Amino acid sequence: MDHMLEVEKNAGTISNAMLPALYRIENVRKDTDDTFTLELVPQGDGDGFTFSPGQFNMLYVFGVGEIPISICGDPARKDLLVHTTRAVGTVTKALRKLKRNDVIGVRGPFGTHWPVEDVTGSDVVIIAGGIGLPPLRPALYSLLAQREKYGKIVLLYGTRSPADILYKNELERWRARFDLEVHITVDRGMEGWHGNVGVVTTLIKKAPFDPDNTVAFVVGPEVMMRYAILELHKRGVESSSIYLSMERNMKCAIGLCGHCQLGNVFVCKDGPVFTLEQLSRLPNEY
Ligand SMILES: Cc1cc2nc3c(=O)[nH]c(=O)nc-3n(C[C@H](O)[C@H](O)[C@H](O)COP(=O)(O)OP(=O)(O)OC[C@H]3O[C@@H](n4cnc5c(N)ncnc54)[C@H](O)[C@@H]3O)c2cc1C
Ligand code: FES
């Protein structure tokens, strides 16, 4: 292609990618004390929203700011965009105050995805700590939609306390299935809690998967991810079969500003999903 044409074409793509589309809040759900889920629909007509499990959007609260939040709905539902967010600071707290029919800006989807289509025939173990479950939920929807293509599917999920467990009804439904193993644990039990107590990584040693034929998808706080890697390695899962989603500060989300840079890669564009093998070549904690 002629160089000027290419430059013009890219400039068009960049300005489109930087321009938020307007989405109306169709539904707000309070999941826990500090976490809430927004269901969004496009303002006006549109073809719906297509994304791959593990990708994220930039959500813009008008007059406040823009933040990266993973898409956590079902990839098969193009009509509904779903985001679960923990309120930790300026933008997430402003987002939490919004109500049904309020409008926000959405840019995306951005980033790499869980390799759901590439791991057919394998056992898949999904390990989530706290707010790490939302970015993994679309992968689970996709795996279950083609259940016959995979070996064992195991979800290991840990939270601080029973009150912090997200998507309780859905977890109950998943737990009732014969073709999915769901194990939940909490750091601190409380009266009425009869489940596991202990950090999520303690579940890995007994989890029913074949280490020689397993891929692991892991999201959670840094310390949890480090211990998950240790336990997966102890079981014999290779670094090339361990996938992690990385969080970094983001601004442009299209590989321009450098805010999310990790060595020579941009987490917004080359991630957020990386294999441990890829990460071990970059300057970071893994
Ligand atoms: C690719 C990607 C996907 C993400 N997906 C989700 C998601 O699905 N759901 C979700 O809730 N969050 C997600 N995050 C994290 C989210 O982007 C941040 O929590 C958000 O940017 C914080 O913005 P803020 O203005 O509310 O907080 P700020 O005002 O920027 O920060 C306020 C305080 O919160 C702390 N803080 C900032 N980020 C985090 C964090 N991630 N965890 C704990 N404390 C933090 C800061 O250190 C600071 O002390 C994702 C991040 C990335 C990069
Ligand atoms: S957020 Fe700008 S380069 Fe990644």
- Is residue 16 very low, low, confident or very high in pLDDT (cuts 50, 70, 90)? confident
Residue 10 has pLDDT above 90, yes or no: no
Reported pTM: 0.93
Structure tokens at 133: 């479950």
Which two structure tokens, joined as six digits, stand for 261?
Answer: 């840079």
Q: Which ligand 2 atom is at minimum distance from the Cα of 255? A: 3
For ligand 1, the distance from its centroid to the CA atom of residue 132, given in whole angstroms, is 12
Ligand 2 pocket member 67 (CB < 6 A): no
Q: Which atom of ligand 2 is nearest to the CA of 68?
A: 1
Q: What is the pLDDT of residue 232?
A: 98
pLDDT > 50? residue 1: no
Residue with tokens 């889920």: 37
Q: Is the pLDDT of residue 284 over 90?
A: no
67 CA: nearest ligand 1 atom: 21
The pair of structure tokens assigned to 193 is 């809690």
Ligand 1 center to 93 CA (angstroms): 11
Q: What is the pLDDT of residue 6?
A: 47
CATH superfamily of domain region 3-110: Translation factors (2.40.30.10)
- pLDDT tens per residue, range 224-248: 999 999 999 999 999 999 999 999 9
From the CB of 134, is ligand 1 less than 6 Å away?
Answer: yes
207 contact partners, CB below 8 Å, separation of at least 6:
125, 154, 156, 181, 183
Question: Which atom of ligand 2 lies closest to the CA of 269?
Answer: 4
Computed over every residue of the chain, the mean pLDDT equals: 93
**Residue 167 pLDDT grade (very low, low, confident, very high; cuts 50, 70, 90):** very high
H or E segment and range at residue 268: helix 267-270
Q: List Cβ neighbours of 131 (8 Å cut-off, separation of 6 or more).
A: 35, 84, 86, 166
pLDDT higher than threshold 70 for residue 28: yes
Selected from 3.40.640.10, 3.40.50.2020, 3.10.20.30, 3.40.50.80, the CATH number assigned to the domain covering 116-245 reads 3.40.50.80
pLDDT at 3: 45
Cβ neighbours for 21, distance < 8 A, ≥ 6 positions apart: 42, 43, 46, 105, 106, 107
Residue ranges of the chain that CATH labels 2.40.30.10: 3-110
CA of 260 to the centre of ligand 2 (A): 5
- Residue identifier of the C-alpha nearest atom 28 of ligand 1: 89
Pocket probe for ligand 1: among 244, 247, 251, 254, the residue whose CB has the most ligand atoms within 8 Å is: 247
DSSP 161-230: SGGG--SHHHHHHHHT-TT-EEEEEESS--TT--SEES-GGGGTTT----GGGEEEEEES-HHHHHHHHH
In the chain, CATH 3.40.50.80 covers 116-245
pLDDT for residue 5: 46
By the 8 A CB rule, do 139 and 53 touch?
A: yes
Higher per-residue confidence, 282 vs 173? 173
